[in-house]
């Protein structure tokens, strides 16, 4: 009977088959769309996760730089304080030598022989990380800071070399070093030795050109180092402010 009806109405049978095919096609397309949407959502979530990881890594880079800058700031301030005290001593010796005044026995002129070392770590630690910093402003500021740091380190090295290779040698040559003070502590007493220079012997050489040259070079190299340290300190503050604003 059904076959007969189908045979009697072939158009209706074809229409029914077409409807079924359309339903299957719509269902298949719907499934494909859902799968595509699921994949896109998964990719977006993955992208968000990757971007979040990158932000955390970048933030940690900023924190590492900031930590180094804080460490450098303390060393810069200490160096500036030491050099200002040394500069006061240079002026004291100059004034005494010019006025032919009697030296103050309470002033420890042996500090003129000490060679303070400048220890900075930002350039050493961050220069290799510079290419990974995405923020162009921070990259430029770090690069500028490292250049100022290198300038300060170069001047500090020159000052240290001047003291070790010229100043100390000069005082040895005029026999101003008190050897008894150097050996005053016990053999195993490795404390720092103060007051190892004899101001009375040094004062006999105030009018000599060698003394004046040593003191002048020491004054200039100390001043140059203080200037570059001052510029570095300012850059340090600026970069710290920028990095804290990024936190």
pLDDT per position as a tens digit, 51-74: 667 777 788 888 999 999 999 999
What's the whole-model pTM score? 0.76
Question: What is the arithmetic mean of pLDDT over 176-196?
Answer: 65
Mean pLDDT on 176-203:
71
Range with top average pLDDT, 3-17, 29-43, 203-217: 203-217
CA distance 244 to 231: 20
Higher pLDDT, 186 or 49: 49
CB atoms within 10 A of CB 240: 17
Q: Which of 216 and 106 is assigned the larger pLDDT?
A: 216
Q: Which domain holds residue 235?
A: 58-245
Q: Categorize the per-residue pLDDT at 3 as very low, low, confident or very high, splitting at 50, 70 and 90.
A: very low
Domain assignment present for residue 230? The answer is yes
Q: Is the pLDDT of residue 114 over 90?
A: no
Q: Which of 216, 214, 116 is nearest to 167 (CA)?
A: 214
The number of C-alpha atoms within 13 Å of 154 and in the hemisphere containing its C-beta is 7
Half-sphere exposure of 87 (CA within 13 A, CB side): 16
For residue 85, being part of any structural domain is answered with yes
Q: What is the domain count for the chain?
A: 1
Tell me the average pLDDT across 129-150. 89
């Amino acid at each position: 009977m059904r076959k007969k009806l189908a045979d009697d109405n072939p158009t209706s049978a074809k229409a029914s088959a077409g409807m079924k095919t359309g339903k299957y096609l719509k269902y298949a397309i719907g499934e494909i769309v859902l799968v595509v949407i699921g994949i896109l959502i998964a990719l977006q979530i993955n992208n968000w996760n990757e971007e979040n990881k990158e932000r955390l890594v970048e933030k940690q880079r900023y924190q590492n730089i900031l930590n180094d800058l804080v460490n450098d700031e303390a060393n810069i301030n200490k160096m500036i304080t030491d050099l200002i005290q040394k500069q006061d001593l240079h002026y004291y010796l100059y004034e005494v030598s010019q006025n032919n005044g009697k030296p103050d026995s309470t002033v420890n002129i042996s500090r003129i022989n000490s060679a303070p070392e400048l220890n900075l770590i930002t350039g050493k630690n961050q220069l290799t990380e510079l290419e990974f910093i995405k923020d162009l402003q921070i990259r430029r500021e770090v690069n500028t800071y490292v250049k100022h740091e290198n300038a300060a380190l170069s001047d500090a090295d020159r000052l240290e070399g001047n003291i070790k290779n010229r100043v100390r040698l000069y005082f040895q040559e005029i026999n101003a070093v008190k050897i008894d003070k150097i050996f005053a502590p016990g053999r195993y007493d490795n404390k720092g030795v103060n007051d190892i220079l004899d101001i009375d012997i040094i004062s006999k050489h105030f009018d000599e050109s060698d003394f004046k040259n040593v003191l002048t070079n020491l004054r200039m190299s100390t001043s140059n180092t203080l200037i570059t340290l001052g510029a570095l300190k300012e850059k340090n503050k600026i970069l710290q402010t920028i990095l804290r604003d990024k936190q």
